[in-house]
Structure 1
Amino acid sequence: MTDENRPGESLRERKKRETRQRISNIATGMFRERGFDQVTVAEVARVAGVSAMTVFNYFPRKEDLFLDRIPEAVAAFAGAVRDRAPGEPPLAALRRLAFRFIDARHPLGGLGEGFAGFWSVVADSPALLARAREGVEEVEWALAAAFAEAGLAAPELVAAVTVAAYRSVCVASVRRQLAGYPFAEIVEDHRERMGAAFDALERMVP
Structure 2
Amino acid sequence: MSERNASEQLPLRQRKKLLTRQRISDVATRLFFERGFDEVTVAEVAEAAEVSAMTVFNHFPRKEDLFLDRIPEGIALATAAVRDRDPAESPVAALRCLALRLVDEGHPLAAVGYAPFWRIVYGSPALRARVREGAEELEAALTAAIAACPGGSAPDPQPRMTAALAVAAYRAACAASLRRAFAGEPAEEVVLAHRALVERVFGELERVLPLGG
TM-score w.r.t. the length of structure 2 is 0.91
Cα deviation per residue 1:129-157 (whole Å; 9 max; x = unaligned)?
Answer: 10011011111111111111112111111
Q: Given the alignment, which residue of 201, 204, 210 partners 1:200?
A: 204
Query: In the TM superposition, what is the alpha-carbon distance from 1:87 to its structure 2 partner?
Result: 2.7
Matched with 1:119 is 118
* Residues 1:35 and 2:36 aligned together: yes
Q: 2: distance between equivalents of 1:116 and 1:56?
A: 27
CA contact (8 A) 2:8 2:15 kept: no
Matched with 1:169 is 173
Structure 2 letter corresponding to 1:78: T
Written as runs of structure 1 = structure 2, the 5 A alignment for 1:4-43 is 4-6=5-7, 8-43=9-44
Cα deviation per residue 1:115-140 (whole Å; 9 max; x = unaligned)?
Answer: 12111111111101100110111111
Q: 2: distance between equivalents of 1:32 and 1:64?
A: 15
Q: 2: distance between equivalents of 1:27 and 1:4?
A: 25
Written as runs of structure 1 = structure 2, the 5 A alignment for 1:89-168 is 89-112=90-113, 115-150=114-149, 151-168=155-172
Q: In terms of mean alpha carbon deviation, does 189-198 or 56-65 score higher? A: 189-198
Question: What 5-or-longer segments of structure 1 have no aligned partner?
Answer: none
How high is the sequence identity, in percent, across the aligned residues? Answer: 57
Structure 2 letter corresponding to 1:157: M
Q: Bigger relative contact order, structure 1 or 2, given CA contacts below 8 A and separation 6+? A: 2
Query: In the TM superposition, what is the alpha-carbon distance from 1:5 to its structure 2 partner?
Result: 4.0
Q: 2: distance between equivalents of 1:148 and 1:2?
A: 28
Matched with 2:152 is none
Q: In terms of mean alpha carbon deviation, does 148-157 or 4-13 score higher? A: 4-13
Q: In terms of mean alpha carbon deviation, does 82-91 or 146-155 score higher? A: 82-91
Q: 1: distance between equivalents of 2:183 and 2:43?
A: 34
Cα deviation per residue 1:144-175 (whole Å; 9 max; x = unaligned)?
Answer: 11111112111111111111111111111111
Written as runs of structure 1 = structure 2, the 5 A alignment for 1:45-124 is 45-112=46-113, 115-124=114-123
Q: 2: distance between equivalents of 1:141 and 1:120?
A: 27
CA RMSD of aligned residues (A): 1.5
CA contact (8 A) 1:102 1:109 kept: yes
CA contact (8 A) 1:5 1:14 kept: no
CA contact (8 A) 1:3 1:18 kept: no
CA contact (8 A) 1:177 1:183 kept: yes
CA contact (8 A) 1:42 1:52 kept: yes
3-state secondary structure, aligned to 1:6: helix
* Residues 1:187 and 2:191 aligned together: yes
Q: For residues 94 and 164 of structure 1, do their structure 2 counterparts lie closer, same or farther at Cα, with a shift above 3 Å needed?
A: same
Query: In the TM superposition, what is the alpha-carbon distance from 1:60 to its structure 2 partner?
Result: 0.2
CA contact (8 A) 2:146 2:156 kept: yes
Q: For residues 73 and 144 of structure 1, do their structure 2 counterparts lie closer, same or farther at Cα, with a shift above 3 Å needed?
A: same
User: Number of residue pairs matched?
Assistant: 204
Structure 1 letter corresponding to 2:158: A
Q: 2: distance between equivalents of 1:176 and 1:188?
A: 12
